[in-house]
Amino acid sequence: MLIQIKQAVSTCRQAVLLCTFSVGCWFYETNAQTIYVDSSVAVSGNGSSWVSAYKELRDALLNIRTNNTITTIAVAKGTYKPTNDTNIDSAFCIYRGNVKIYGGYPGGGGTRDFNANRVNLTGIGDNEYNTSYHVFIVAGLPVNADSVVLDGLTINGGSSISWSYEHSYNNQPIKGFTGAGLCLQNNWSGSKIAVSNCNFINNHGNTGAGIYSYLAGSLFINNCVFDSNTAHGGLDLGFGYGAGLYNYKTTASISNCLFSKNNSTGRPCTGIGLCNVHSSITVFNTAFTANSGPSNGGAIANTDSADAVISYCTFTDNAVETFFFTSESYASCIYNSSSRINLHHSSLLRNRSATGGAVILWDSHDASINNVSFAQNSALTGDSHGGGITNISSSPDISNCLFLNDTALLGGAIYNGAGSSPRVNNCTFYSNFSEFSYGAGGAIYCADSSGGRYTNCIFWKDTVRSEFNSGRYEFYSENNGSDLSKPRPAVLYSIINSPFPILNVLDSGNNSSNYPRFIDTAIATIAGADGMFGTGDDGLRLQPCSPGIDAGINSAIPAGITKDIKDDERINNNAVDLGCFENPGPIITASTTIAGNNDSTLKSIYNALDLMQDCRLLATVVPTGAAPVAGGVKVKVTINVAGSPFAKPFVQRYYEIEPSQNASLATATVSLYFTQADFDAYNLVRGSYPSLPVDASDVLNYKSNILVHQFHGANDLSSEVIIVPSVVAWNSTNNWWIASFNVTGFSRFYLNTDLTPLPVVLNYFKGQRQDNHINLNWKTDCAHSSGLTLSLEKSKDGNAFTSIYHTIVNEQRCILPFNYTDNDPFPGKNYYRLKMTETAGKIFYSNILFFSARPSEVFVSPTIIKQGQLLNVAVQQKDYVFAIYNSNGALVKKQKLVQGVNTIPVTIAAGIYFYRIADSDEQSQKTGKIIID
């Protein structure tokens, strides 16, 4: 997920991006005049060549101040100072635009290498109290000034720690407490300044010790290091801001940088690594490591209506170490106050502070945190709230995040206070901890009027220290719901280790306490071989048969979130997985087994849903028909070894399927699974009833005897509906039988064979397109039924059918054929089927007919299919042949097609195949590719 950032300065320099982001390539001019600087020359020249180079950079800058024809300064390795005396007002200065300084050339000229040939710009003294106030200044550039580039420089030794000092540079008053390393001030909105491949090391100041950017226009910082800079805050110095970088009313882009070991010597201070005030910034692929101080954001502070987008960054071992208890000590890593923030695809590891171990959001309602890992962060002194995130008057969107081993007094992972109501979706909380004897909320703590909505999440092994708070493991809420405008926290479509009821926490449905079946929960190996959290080898990914697979609700995913934490597609197999990791592979694998007695599960449903418990498959439910099943679906398998509950024999294995919505009218295609042993046991007690298949080959076609008996409510024969399965097939990979059929309403499902003749027999159902009309005709036999309701149904997609013709007939009318003309077919595809309901409630469906505007048109779906599932092939004419070939061209399956929709079980091995549909003259009508998972 993360772009790995090396922590060493020399390694960080490897990736040189001279032309990035919106900076474009406007830094380089083909007709630019260059002058040269080389500290190794014996005598300073006029800068016209390396032989005649200036010995000092300050002389070259003095030349270009008045000579506008010079646009570029090439600087050879060496140490350069802004003056040769003791004047601490002296600084390297740029007074106009269209100036580019490139350091890193060897002495005497040659190939530029800013790592090997360091250009060191430094103050004049030997400590922070005896040196230049500023090393480099770019100030007072007009709106229309061309770009300024600083590239390949190391700036160190500046010291801006005087509140009383002020000096004018380019007619700009520069304070003595700002910009010790590089001071950018009043360069107005049109100016463009790019700082690349530079180091800012050991500069001291009150505000912006490394870089101070104040009304600096557009600032681009790329591949730079900010190391060991100090912001001197304290009672006599006031606030310290941005030891590494201070940015005020400047649009800044920061990429591929390293902020390390920047610090503050006293309180109060804000944004020790980077302080962004009333500005818009983007921070990309940047590392913040071991920055520390007494308050308000060890790595980043974003304040006063600022706007920050932070992506693909790492934050490691940053700390806010308060000197004593104070409400000013917030957020060891990222502090966001009254500002917008979008933090994504990043990692926060081992950060610590008094409140908000990793992130604090203060009055930050328009905030978004997604695809971020929070691991081993802590808040263990002072207020000690929220080891991962603290929300104060903030209601952010938090999605696809991992919270692992985060620790705090209250809310090991997340603390919500002052009416905060975050929307937390698809997050994994594992082994977070609420510390101290009165701690609560190992994962989540909601104070007073706070709440939030927690959807598609996993809470597991989050604990508290106190044995007196045993009911406060994953979740603790003080909000009892007395204020209706601030509802209690709600959990839905989630797995939570501590089962409901949970004090003051709403169980909003579809939650479970089933073990999530993680790949690996050993703390030492959860990060995987790459040692990074939130990547594709993490141990907290879900096994293919986890109860968290396909168990979430898709509508909870915020707009624009399309990837999981490891950058795989967020939704696989139509339904989102629980937690931050999406399993990209198929759910049913060769190792999947069939469910056992009393196995049950509850999942939300989208399209095809495989219902599993602990790697054991129970059933498959596909929303189809007029009222497609939706919401949560509960399924249970029972194996009744005591025998049939009825007078006639039934297979011992039976199913109970119950949707949470519209259970009596919901429609679907259901697939049930049986072993050969199930059939063998039935055959031993079937008596005179027809046989079930005796082996997988079923050469005698006993599978045609199979009937499904559906009972709505109690096991009462008066509520019985007999269903003839549309498909019965053997899966040779998993060694089970599959029986698929359409249903209206859900209940218990039993399987048997039956001596009683079917009350309804469909002799034929066929049709033909004529011009813009479709003529349909059929013949039924209802001799064994006292009455029959016929409904002709139509669909655009073969799934959702609606009735277009309805009639009730008796036995005499059944003798005659039926005809119906659809004068208003859909402009594209048209599917038709008969629904036949006899008076006792038994329902039968016909085959499905298919028509489109072109008679030769055929459709094959889906083309990516799971092993053992059904392939639909729709044709308008009979006598077609469907064939599947492997990648070597060998025929692996062949089947004759009938008019309409043909359902073909795919039981061949996983792989990539090619299909061909040909007519009786072997003329191909369609070819294509099928991928079998």
Neighbours of 851 (CB within 10 A): 23
Q: Of all residues in the chain, what percent carry a pLDDT higher than 70? A: 88
Q: How far apart are CA 702 and CA 696, in angstroms?
A: 11
| Helix or strand run (H / E) with residue 860 | strand 859-861
Average per-residue pLDDT in the chain?
Answer: 85
Residue 25's pLDDT is what?
Answer: 33
Q: For residue 862, say if its preceding peptide bond is cis, omega within 30 degrees of 0.
A: yes
Q: pTM for this one?
A: 0.73
Q: How far apart are CA 613 and CA 640, in angstroms?
A: 19
Give the pLDDT mean for 607-621. Answer: 78
- Residues ≥6 apart with Cβ < 8 Å to 175: 160, 163, 165, 166
Total residue count of the chain as it appears in this document: 933
Angstrom distances, CA of residue 405 to CA of 408, 436, 443, 497, 797? 10, 15, 10, 16, 48
Question: Which residue in the block uniquely carries the two structure tokens 């399309």?
Answer: 562
Give the pLDDT mean for 632-660. Answer: 88
pLDDT in tens, 814-869: 878 999 999 999 988 889 988 888 776 667 778 788 888 777 778 887 777 766 56
User: Band of the pLDDT at 323, cuts 50, 70, 90?
Assistant: very low
Q: What is the CB-side half-sphere exposure of residue 700 using CA atoms within 13 A?
A: 8
Q: How far apart are CA 604 and CA 659, in angstroms?
A: 9
Residue 297's pLDDT is what?
Answer: 85
pLDDT in tens, 155-201: 999 988 877 777 888 888 888 788 899 999 998 767 789 999 999 99
Give the pLDDT mean for 50-66. Answer: 94
| Pairing verdict, β 911-918 and 880-885 | antiparallel
Higher pLDDT, 9 or 908: 908
Angle at CA 593, nearest 5°, toward 590 and 597? 175
- Residues ≥6 apart with Cβ < 8 Å to 798: 829, 831, 848, 850, 872, 874, 901
CB 730 within 8 A of CB 698: yes
Residue 924's pLDDT is what?
Answer: 66
> What tokens does 802 get?
């609606």
| Pairing verdict, β 748-752 and 397-399 | unpaired
CB 803 within 8 A of CB 820: no
> What tokens does 366 get?
């328009």
Q: How far apart are CA 330 and CA 334, in angstroms?
A: 9
Asked if the model's pLDDT at residue 257 lies above 70, the reply is yes
Higher pLDDT, 245 or 586: 245
Residue 690's pLDDT is what?
Answer: 92
Give the pLDDT mean for 133-137. Answer: 93
User: Band of the pLDDT at 14, cuts 50, 70, 90?
Assistant: very low
CB 174 within 8 A of CB 186: no
Residue 804's pLDDT is what?
Answer: 93
Give the pLDDT mean for 649-665. Answer: 90
Task: Classify residue 737 by burial, with Cβ atoms within 10 Å: 0-12, 13-18, 19+.
Answer: buried
CB 813 within 8 A of CB 778: no
Give the pLDDT mean for 46-73. Answer: 94
What is the rounded end-to-end Cα distance, in angstroms, of the chain? 25
Q: Of all residues in the chain, what percent carry a pLDDT higher than 90? A: 47
Phi, psi of 628 (to 5 degrees): -55, 135
Higher pLDDT, 760 or 627: 627
| Pairing verdict, β 340-349 and 307-311 | parallel
Give SS3 for 94: strand
Residue 133 backbone zone (phi > 0: left; psi -120 to 50: alpha; other: beta): alpha
Residue 322's pLDDT is what?
Answer: 60
Residue 27's pLDDT is what?
Answer: 37
Q: How far apart are CA 363 and CA 306, in angstroms?
A: 12
Most confident of 2-16, 377-391, 493-507: 493-507
Asked if the model's pLDDT at residue 389 lies above 90, the reply is yes
Q: How far apart are CA 374 and CA 371, in angstroms?
A: 10
pLDDT in tens, 203-220: 998 889 999 999 988 999
Question: Which residue in the block uniquely carries the two structure tokens 């004419």?
Answer: 877
Asked if the model's pLDDT at residue 31 lies above 50, the reply is no
Q: Strand pairing partners for 377?
A: none
Residue 28's pLDDT is what?
Answer: 38
Q: How far apart are CA 637 and CA 654, in angstroms?
A: 6
CB 863 within 8 A of CB 869: no
- Residues ≥6 apart with Cβ < 8 Å to 920: 879, 880, 881
pLDDT in tens, 882-912: 888 887 878 888 888 878 887 777 777 778 8
Q: Lowest mean pLDDT of 183-197, 303-317, 591-605, name the range.
A: 591-605
Give the pLDDT mean for 649-669. Answer: 89
Nearest to 788 by CA among 812, 766, 819: 812
Q: Strand pairing partners for 271?
A: none
pLDDT in tens, 772-810: 899 999 988 877 676 788 899 998 877 778 899 998 888
Nearest to 741 by CA among 662, 668, 689, 803: 668
User: Band of the pLDDT at 234, cuts 50, 70, 90?
Assistant: low
Torsional sign, CA 590, 592, 595, 600: negative
Torsional sign, CA 224, 230, 232, 233: positive
Asked if the model's pLDDT at residue 759 lies above 80, the reply is no
Residue 13's pLDDT is what?
Answer: 36
Angstrom distances, CA of residue 305 to CA of 279, 329, 339, 363, 427? 8, 20, 4, 10, 28
Residue 466's pLDDT is what?
Answer: 65
* Helix (H), strand (E), coil (C) string for 520-570: CCCCCCCCCCCCCCCCCCCCCCECCCCCCCCCCCHHHCCCCCCECCCCCEC
